[in-house]
């Protein structure tokens, strides 16, 4: 009996040692894969597995990753279904607004027609204004032309009066009275009178530059213009000859000679302003 009890004791002892060997509670077990570990910007799979899962087999890791992938797919499907349901609900909430949309459409179309009507009125008013401006421009041009033609006639009449080509009554009516005795020969060739003649002639040329040379009125004044220019040339030639004749006088004093020389220069300047230098050369070459 004693012999039988010993094996029983040995068996119990053996069973106790086996339970101690099969007890893994003291070993470290891997933690579940946290989702935050995969969201870092510098995530490294090799470094992560080497540091945290040294006590987990590759098959266990694959199984856990498959489970995590399925969980993510399920969450994605739920998210899509939820957004789609919201989208469908939005479409349903918009039902029944067709009438308001049509009313708004009709209002916009009416406003567009009003704009087109206003646009047509504006375009029509712009065309009419453009035509009126063209008419006004033409009237202004004709008015300026008429004013220049009247000025030309008045200035030409004044020059004819200064050149004694008109009667005394016309001279009094159209010309400022000269402070000269126009009946004397000396006054006809005086420097002040010649300067007034040249000034009046140059003003006529200025007015002529503002009117068309082919205008019938301008053409009609061709004879008057030619006669006034010839008479002015004759008066300047006469003054130049008289000045030359006086300079030949050997009894002239030095002051008188300088005065005559200055007068000669002024007459030549008047010739230059008139633009008839050839006539001046002819007058200087001509004998007394």
Same domain, 73 and 189: no
Please give the pLDDT value at position 23: 52
Could you tell me if 280 and 240 are in contact, meaning their C-beta atoms sit under 8 angstroms apart? yes
Please give the pLDDT value at position 126: 93
Please give the pLDDT value at position 187: 72
In a domain, 49, yes or no: no
Domain boundary among 89, 106, 137: 89
Q: What is the DSSP letter of 51?
A: H
- Burial, 48: exposed, middle or buried (Cβ in 10 Å; 0-12, 13-18, 19+)? middle
- Give the tens place of pLDDT for each residue, 166-207: 754 454 444 444 443 444 445 778 889 999 999 999 999 999
Could you tell me if 157 and 174 are in contact, meaning their C-beta atoms sit under 8 angstroms apart? yes
Same domain, 162 and 273: yes
Claim: this prediction has a pTM higher than 0.75: no
Tokens of 32: 């579940």
Structural domain of residue 174, as residue ranges? 152-285
In a domain, 191, yes or no: yes
Domain boundary among 89, 111, 134: 89
Same domain, 68 and 190: no
The segment with the largest mean pLDDT, out of 48-62, 128-142, 176-190, is 128-142
Same domain, 278 and 164: yes
Domain boundary among 89, 106, 136: 89
Rounded Cα distance between 111 and 287, Å, is 94
- Give the tens place of pLDDT for each residue, 215-249: 999 999 999 999 998 888 888 888 888 888 887 77
Tokens of 137: 């421009």
Same domain, 84 and 156: no
Mean pLDDT score of the chain, rounded to an integer?
Answer: 76
Same domain, 164 and 247: yes
In Å, how far from its chain's centre is CA 73? 63
In a domain, 271, yes or no: yes
Same domain, 261 and 176: yes
Same domain, 173 and 75: no
Tokens of 286: 């001509």
Rounded Cα distance between 183 and 88, Å, is 116
In a domain, 227, yes or no: yes
pLDDT band for position 54 (50/70/90)? low
Secondary structure (3-state) at 16: helix
- Give the tens place of pLDDT for each residue, 261-281: 888 888 888 888 887 667 667
In a domain, 207, yes or no: yes
pLDDT band for position 122 (50/70/90)? very high
Number of domains comprising the chain: 2
In a domain, 30, yes or no: no
């Amino acid at each position: 009996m004693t012999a039988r009890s010993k094996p029983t004791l040995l068996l119990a002892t053996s069973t106790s040692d086996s339970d101690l060997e099969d007890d893994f509670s003291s070993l470290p077990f891997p933690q579940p894969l946290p989702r935050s570990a995969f969201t870092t910007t510098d995530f490294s799979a090799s470094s992560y597995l080497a540091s945290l899962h040294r006590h987990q087999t590759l098959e266990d890791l694959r199984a856990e990753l498959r489970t995590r992938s399925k969980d993510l797919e399920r969450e994605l499907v739920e998210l899509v279904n939820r957004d789609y349901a919201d989208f469908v609900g939005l479409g349903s909430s918009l039902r029944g607004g067709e009438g308001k949309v049509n009313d708004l459409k009709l209002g916009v179309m009416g406003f567009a027609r009003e704009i087109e009507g206003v646009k047509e009125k504006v375009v029509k008013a712009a065309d009419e204004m453009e035509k009126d401006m063209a008419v006004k421009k033409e009237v202004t041009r004709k008015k300026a032309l008429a004013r220049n033609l009247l000025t030309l006639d008045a200035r030409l009449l004044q020059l004819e009066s200064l050149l004694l080509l008109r009667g005394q009554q016309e001279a009094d009516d159209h010309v400022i009275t000269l402070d000269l005795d126009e009946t004397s020969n000396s006054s006809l060739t005086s420097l002040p009178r010649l300067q007034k003649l040249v000034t009046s002639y140059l003003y006529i040329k200025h007015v002529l530059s503002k009117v068309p040379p082919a205008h019938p009125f301008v053409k009609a004044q061709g004879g008057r213009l030619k006669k006034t220019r010839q008479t002015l040339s004759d008066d300047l030639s006469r003054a130049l000859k008289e000045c030359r004749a006086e300079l030949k006088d050997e009894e002239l004093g030095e002051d008188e000679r300088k005065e005559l020389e200055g007068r000669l220069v002024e007459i030549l300047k008047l010739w230059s302003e008139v633009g008839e230098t050839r006539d001046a050369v002819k007058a200087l070459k001509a004998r007394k």
